[in-house]
Structure 1
Amino acid sequence: MKQTGFKAKTLGVAIRHSFMALSLLGIGVSSISVHANTELRQEIQIPAGSLAQVVHQFAEQTGILLHYDAQLVDAKRSAGLNGHYDIETGFRALLAPHGLQLHKTTTGYSIVAIASTSPQAGEMVQLEQIDLYATHSNTQPAAELPVITLNADSSTTEGRNSYTTHKMRTATKLNLSIRETPQSVTVISHQLLEDKKIDDFDTLMKNVTGIRVDKGVLDSRASYWLRGFSLDYYQMDGIRMAINDLTMNNYNMDKFDRVEIVKGANGLTSGAGNPAGAINMIRKHANAKVFRGDIDLSAGTWNTYKIKTDMQAPLDSEANIRGRLVLSHKETDTFKDRVHNENDLIYAVVDADLSDTTQISAGASYEKDDLDGDSNNLPAFYSDGTKTNFSRSKNFSPSWSSWDTERYSYFLDLKQYLPNDILLNVIYTHNDIKTKDRLNGYLTVWNGLNKDGTGLDYSWMYAPQDIHEDNIDIYAAIPLQLGNRQHEVIAGFQYNKQKTKQTWKGDGDIPIENFLTQNGSEINRPITTTSVPGFISDSQQSAFYLTGKFELRNDLKLILGGRLTNYDFNEVSSRFNQYTKYNFKNEFTPFVGLVYDFNQNHSFYASYTDIFKPQNARDQENKLLAPVLGRNYELGIKGEYLDKRLNTSLTLFRIEQDNFAEDTGIKNPSGNNIYESKNGVVSKGVELEISGKITDHWDLTAAIVNFEAKDGDDNKFNTRAPRTNLNIFSKYRINDFSFAAGVNWKSDSYIGSGSKKVSQDAYATVDLMASYNFSKNLTAQLNINNVFDKKYYSGYSANAYAYADPMHGIFSLKYKF
């Protein structure tokens, strides 16, 4: 194989960086080609699939322009690639088993059948050039070999050492790149999760630019806000799941490959909810064809200890069936008095290629959160109106206070490839969430604390709860060729059912003699004898959806879709003798977006979508008011550089939420309140984001958002949400050393006014990371968060507040085998 000279290679790298820098400044740059060392190996993890998909994905990762006759690979399956490959060994492994090989052409590379006049099987032809911008090259291939555009799923981020991803489906179900997606999106990759040691959902959300996390204002639950609106659902593998107010949802992140975030309304793939955004957690899968794994040991501040192992292995001789097991245990005392938290995770998945056209994935997980000494709120004011100022470690929860949650999850994912590259995908998930030992409480802070320590009560409740959830998603991805252009249509059906049952076992108030001298340990565990049904609720959503990507021109794509949703809700409350029932039929949710590639690296996009939220409010004729409607408008520019290894975006957005139910103060003849629909909140702002590789040794993720939100009376809305948030994390590698630093800055926020105003000044936290590879198997890593020990709130209300974590660190050793 021909080797390129050192000078040419060095010059090529310099040219590449220079052109990238010009592109970042918005200067149009034509596609360029540079010589590359084709013997440079990189870690490749491409799951099994059709040969066309796997070949296309490998071509994307190696950056070559590939064109070939589609019939050569039609109906052929590939076991994928897993390991370290260069171009030669990778394409040989993929093509040789099918009697094919890579061939150099004047415009790039093609796939040809092995013949007597061609190089022999396993022999590699000379590879002289790699087009770094191959996916957008204007060069036309030879007439007899049309360019093939495929929807290969190259979204897996594990093993890619990257802060971005090639593809994602969260926004539209279509397998689009970030640049092709006509909406503001963010990806928290596997590498970023590892570098920042993010292993729980709450910490994840703190690292998403623009999200406000409120935690500890009443108890240990957290709520999340984006663009001024509450996040009231999330997704797992693209399947919608509700965030329940009465259960802990602080998921262990060890079983996920990455998290995809769509900002703004996401009704097309999510159904009912607020126009805040969608948080989609993507599970890990068993892709390894040889036994591999790692064990990670960690120790840190506040008696924090963790052990995690992640193992993969083939389960048959040809690696058509593969298994993966993730186990972890973590415990910590936290910085607050008498609080101890433990988390356990078991996650297992089996991926199997049943035939050349059939793939199945089945998995299950068990997770337990055991929170003792449930930390709670601190009073913001004394009864005379002056403000309090307690130590960050102050905690009044008694040691018997607990909030234990168990989560069981099962899923089955079947992919069937049909003729003409049609994919039929069937996904089923089942979730059980149980809060068996939920005996917790909070301070009654509304009347204020007297200066002598009296005036407060500890309010407790014992209310175990079970949630059962079933989800089905069936869709077909259909590639089309019309007018000599490539298009794709996805048609599907979703069904979601959630049943919640709560048992009420007692509640009460316990007077506090002196809050200033007591710490909660003096309070005896209450004796509970009551056991009555609290409430039972049922909610169901069913929907048909249709979405498509249509190539109007080479540089112009239309994304068009719609969803038709039926929603039913029933709740019986035995404790309060109430019955609630309402439903909405055939709620239509549209999506329309345009993406225009105005030069080699940049695209302009515009989109509109909406989302509805059911409400149980009736007018004077006792008819249900229409659902609250959230509309999302966006304009933006996206950039893509270095073979999709670096993504940038600039977004202007406007969200409107209307049809709020407003109480008229009048009752109908049945004694029920009469409501009227009112127009509501408008949130508008700008976001700027960059993520990926600046150079081979420099990774960066950075974003800034600024927005303003007002209600229908032109008053500021949700003033506790910082209007500006800047988030930066950057890592640089020098041989076996890696160093990283991050800054998270939030502008000031507040609630209330005058002497009753609770506010959070603008603040910045700084995080540091350093790691060293002792060998290819052993790595040590140190993370220090909030380096300058900034004192700020993790959440606050008009009467209470809770402190966020002081400076803390964690040291870990990871051994790969």
Structure 2
Amino acid sequence: MTYPRLALLAAGLILLGPVRAAQLDIQAQPLDAALAELAEATGVQLLYDADATRGKQSPALQGDYSAPQALGQLLAGSGLRYRVNNDGSITLEPAPVTESTLAPVAVNAEVATKVDTPTLETPQSISVVRRAQIEEQGSDTVQQALRYTPGVFTDQIGASKRYDYVSLRGFSDDSIDNIYLDGLKTMGDGGTFSSMQIDPYFLERVEIVKGPTSVLYGRASPGGLVNLTSKKPLFETRQELRFGVGTNDYRGVGFDFSGPVNDRVAYRLVGLADKGDTQFDHLEQERRAIMPSLTLELGDSTLLDLMAYYQDDPEGGSHSGVPAEGSLYRRNGRYIDNTFFEGEPDYEQFERTQKMLGYQLQHFIDDTWSLRQNFRYITSDVQLQQVYSYQWVGNSDRLSRFYSGADEQLDAYTVDNQARADFATGDLQHTLLIGADYQHRDVDAAWSSGAFPAIDAFDPVYGAAPTAIGDPVPHERKLIQTGVYLSDQIALDRWRFSLGGRYDWVRTANVNQDTGARSSQDEEQFSGRAGVLYRLDNGLAPYVSYSESFNPSVYTDEDGDPLEPTEGTQYETGLKYQPRDGRGLYTLSLFHIDQENLAIREPQTTVYVPIGEIRSRGVELEAQTLLTDRFRVRASYTYTDIEYTEAEPGIEGNQVNQAPRNQATAWGHYRFDQGPMAGFDLGAGVRYTEGIQADRANTREVPSYTLVDAALGYDFSHLGIQGLSARVNANNLLDKEYVASCYSLNYCYFGAERSVMATVTYQLR
């Protein structure tokens, strides 16, 4: 099938007649076809280069809109923006990379629905962090990029940057295992050291879906998921170089090159290398990564995206904690310094190499049906040596220590096949999705452990040797999941209905290759989802939804038997509001989640103990608004009441630890366009966290903390130097010393100290 090209490619589409508001009914389709419908319905004159829309899709759009209002929806996530000319015509053009307008707030909630549905029409809480926000706030990990997002806690392991722990709606268990890349779950691997990490420099945006998502993705946490969207090739030339220096002797360089090879092929090549110390003595971080990608138009109705990724982390920084006594409160009259390193320099190693290959293939059969297949293969190698502390020795100032070692190799692949149909039955407009996916994960690991001499926490002396280290014990851990799913999004006038169901077959196995001990299980599970939303004329959209989660476990209990899969259910209701001028987005959500078959790992062991059920309920508020053309504000508040509803005596009824009760954030950004400050932009933010219990028994509470961040940028084009910009970011500007969270009274994690980073970026277009 050949989609209509606009008759005047460079000049765009010209229609006669006055510009007017119109009742629109535009189906999801290629962007150029949607723009043609919009121009015909509103009488507007659109001017653009048709190459800019090639290969891009637009969401469905229904309702009473003027042309600018409709363009704010249709262009969301396309990399394009619109400009209204003096004669009333509208020009479409590429949006600058540093552009931070609120027009794209209504981005498509594709990760929540696997189709391009506007977030305003999705009966579920969704937050989006865009490229511009990542850069403004100086986020150098995915965790940091989500600091200002409601319902998200990113300080679970404090200042550690080795993995991206993202706790959603209070569910800290398996929080390392809920990150997806381009819609595929190939990132986390709870229970091993082989969890992947993507540097945010390679990302276009991050989408956070709150609540169960198993109906589309299979095994998942009831708290939700985080989807990372990688940078894709562009059909316009872009060349970027970036240099950075910062505290802890940080230095780094990055590049981002993209452009057309011809009128049907585009490329992108993104890479970085950086290195620096950490706030902890004797520990460093280092990374080298590169990501090449290609977009190929295989005819007028087929699009293929190819991607490869290589990352080498020779140094992995910190990943350890200290007792509550000495961090939350004094030990023998003193506090442990927040730079204390409890390990041994000669026995400290974390090396991770990860490689990925993948593609996204999309084919349009006709005006109704389209097909898509996403595939990714991952392999990684991890070598680890680490000496941990775990408790005080008697009444002394010395901490007991133990040794842990690992040599792991992960091989995993995932494929997701989808068939989509857009059609009508009477007054009902359907977006039907039928899918089948498969994922296979295999980890070969050799784990060792041993005893180590104690260390003085207040006056450490290094150079000790282990008292005993056992031989490595080989293990194999395997997970295979096959799922089929069906989802239908239905529009009836201003009503939006969402219905879906999925059936999963999952097999897990855990083998001790030394002893031959084996635990395995085969599970089947149905997961469902239903929701309804109503769009009012004034921009309000109330909704209510129900969803389920399912997450099989590869862990075993003390008898070596596999644990039961966790199951979760959520009821959510809320209200979304977007003013008709498109200058803001406001959301309110209330949720209630129940999770069964929860298990917790006992410290210093590989044994998991079933503890029963937990319940999470709360409220989330988020506001994004453009107060003026130059002043943006993003604010959020989260209240989470999560407790053990069924557990052993002394635990039941307690609050789940590592889950804040109250969180509030606010970030403001102002850009100067005129006067002596022209070219400067300022950003400032504040983050408040309160109500974290330090242990399951709720014997101690982590003191609340308030952190301040700031940013200052300058665009040198105001001095006639096109493409050159500079930025300085300060995180924890006031250098607040705090404990971020505690896994137990033996493991509390210091928060990140003040960090300052300066970057200089040169872009050539």
- TM-score under structure 2 length normalisation: 0.82
| Alignment partner of 1:477 is 2:420 | yes
Residue number among 165, 170, 180 corresponding to 2:121 in the alignment: 180
Query: Paired residue for 1:590?
Result: 528
**1:707/1:444 CA distance change after superposition, 3 Å:** closer
Shift of 1:422: 2.1
Query: Paired residue for 1:214?
Result: 156
Shift of 1:203: 2.0
CA distance in 1, matches of 2:738, 2:334: 14
Residue number among 504, 507, 515 corresponding to 1:565 in the alignment: 504
Query: Paired residue for 1:518?
Result: 460
Query: Paired residue for 2:77?
Result: 155
Amino acid of the residue matched to residue 234 of structure 1?
A: I
Q: Which moved more, 1:719-728 or 1:152-161?
A: 152-161
Q: Tell me, what secondary structure is at the counterpart of 1:406?
A: strand
Query: Paired residue for 1:44?
Result: none
Residue number among 165, 182, 185 corresponding to 1:237 in the alignment: 182
Query: Paired residue for 1:613?
Result: 551
CA distance in 1, matches of 2:132, 2:704: 29
CA distance in 1, matches of 2:140, 2:160: 24
CA distance in 1, matches of 2:513, 2:556: 23
Query: Paired residue for 2:441?
Result: 498
Shift of 1:769: 0.8
Q: Which moved more, 1:365-374 or 1:556-565?
A: 365-374
Residue number among 61, 64, 67 corresponding to 1:137 in the alignment: 64
Q: Tell me, what secondary structure is at the counterpart of 1:193?
A: helix
Shift of 1:184: 0.7
Q: Tell me, what secondary structure is at the counterpart of 2:216?
A: helix
CA distance in 2, matches of 1:136, 1:595: 14
Q: Tell me, what secondary structure is at the counterpart of 2:511?
A: strand
Q: Tell me, what secondary structure is at the counterpart of 1:182?
A: coil
Correspondences of 1:245-284 after superposition (within 5 Å): 245=191, 246-284=193-231
Shift of 1:310: 0.4
- The answer as to whether partners of 1:373 and 1:399 remain within 8 angstroms in 2 is no
**RMSD value, Cα:** 4.0
| Alignment partner of 1:537 is 2:483 | no
- The answer as to whether partners of 1:779 and 1:814 remain within 8 angstroms in 2 is yes
**1:643/1:322 CA distance change after superposition, 3 Å:** farther
Query: Paired residue for 1:680?
Result: 613
- The answer as to whether partners of 1:381 and 1:449 remain within 8 angstroms in 2 is no
| Alignment partner of 1:228 is 2:167 | no
Shift of 1:364: 0.2
Shift of 1:69: 12
Residue number among 379, 386, 391 corresponding to 2:337 in the alignment: 391
- The answer as to whether partners of 1:487 and 1:548 remain within 8 angstroms in 2 is yes
| Alignment partner of 1:812 is 2:759 | yes
Amino acid of the residue matched to residue 711 of structure 2?
A: M
Query: Paired residue for 2:381?
Result: 434
Amino acid of the residue matched to residue 181 of structure 1?
A: T
Shift of 1:172: 1.8
**1:458/1:533 CA distance change after superposition, 3 Å:** closer
CA distance in 2, matches of 1:793, 1:336: 14
Query: Paired residue for 1:288?
Result: 235
Shift of 1:150: 14
Q: Tell me, what secondary structure is at the counterpart of 2:134?
A: helix
- The answer as to whether partners of 2:295 and 2:306 remain within 8 angstroms in 1 is yes
Shift of 1:542: 0.7
Q: Deviations over 1:367-392 (max 9, x none)?
A: 12222674532233379976751111
Amino acid of the residue matched to residue 266 of structure 1?
A: T
CA distance in 1, matches of 2:393, 2:3: 64
Shift of 1:190: 0.8
Q: Deviations over 1:678-713 (max 9, x none)?
A: 962221111111125333212222111102122225
CA distance in 2, matches of 1:186, 1:138: 24
Shift of 1:152: 6.2
| Alignment partner of 1:302 is 2:248 | yes
Shift of 1:629: 1.6
Residue number among 508, 511, 519 corresponding to 1:580 in the alignment: 519
Residue number among 349, 352, 366 corresponding to 1:402 in the alignment: 349
- The answer as to whether partners of 2:150 and 2:622 remain within 8 angstroms in 1 is no
Q: Tell me, what secondary structure is at the counterpart of 2:121?
A: coil
Shift of 1:624: 8.8
Query: Paired residue for 2:645?
Result: 712
- The answer as to whether partners of 1:174 and 1:549 remain within 8 angstroms in 2 is no
Instruction: Answer with 1 or 2: which has the greater Rg.
Output: 1
Query: Paired residue for 2:323?
Result: 379
Shift of 1:350: 0.3
Percent of aligned pairs sharing the same letter: 21
Q: Deviations over 1:316-355 (max 9, x none)?
A: 2x3x101100011111112221111101110110001111
Q: Which moved more, 1:571-580 or 1:261-270?
A: 571-580
Q: Tell me, what secondary structure is at the counterpart of 2:627?
A: strand
CA distance in 1, matches of 2:457, 2:254: 40
CA distance in 1, matches of 2:482, 2:644: 32
**1:186/1:375 CA distance change after superposition, 3 Å:** closer
**1:685/1:733 CA distance change after superposition, 3 Å:** same
CA distance in 2, matches of 1:753, 1:101: 57
CA distance in 2, matches of 1:517, 1:792: 21
- The answer as to whether partners of 1:51 and 1:77 remain within 8 angstroms in 2 is no
- The answer as to whether partners of 1:428 and 1:471 remain within 8 angstroms in 2 is yes
Residue number among 627, 630, 640 corresponding to 1:697 in the alignment: 630
| Alignment partner of 1:335 is 2:268 | no
CA distance in 2, matches of 1:353, 1:219: 38
**1:800/1:182 CA distance change after superposition, 3 Å:** same
Shift of 1:278: 0.5
**Unpaired segments of 5 or more residues in structure 1?**
1-47, 81-90, 112-118, 123-133, 141-147, 664-672
Shift of 1:151: 10
| Alignment partner of 1:549 is 2:504 | no
CA distance in 2, matches of 1:76, 1:785: 41
- The answer as to whether partners of 1:683 and 1:710 remain within 8 angstroms in 2 is yes
Q: How many equivalent pairs are there?
A: 691
Residue number among 444, 449, 460 corresponding to 2:390 in the alignment: 444
Shift of 1:719: 3.3
**1:645/1:293 CA distance change after superposition, 3 Å:** farther
**1:49/1:529 CA distance change after superposition, 3 Å:** farther
**1:494/1:153 CA distance change after superposition, 3 Å:** farther
**1:162/1:366 CA distance change after superposition, 3 Å:** farther
Correspondences of 1:630-709 after superposition (within 5 Å): 630-659=568-597, 680-709=613-642
Amino acid of the residue matched to residue 336 of structure 2?
A: F
- The answer as to whether partners of 2:452 and 2:467 remain within 8 angstroms in 1 is no
Q: Tell me, what secondary structure is at the counterpart of 1:696?
A: coil
**Unpaired segments of 5 or more residues in structure 2?**
14-18, 50-60, 80-94, 602-606, 647-651, 674-678
Amino acid of the residue matched to residue 631 of structure 2?
A: W
Shift of 1:398: 2.1
- The answer as to whether partners of 1:187 and 1:259 remain within 8 angstroms in 2 is yes
Shift of 1:303: 0.5
Q: Deviations over 1:751-785 (max 9, x none)?
A: 2599x944321111011111111114111111111
Query: Paired residue for 2:108?
Result: 167
Residue number among 125, 132, 135 corresponding to 1:194 in the alignment: 135
Query: Paired residue for 1:771?
Result: 713
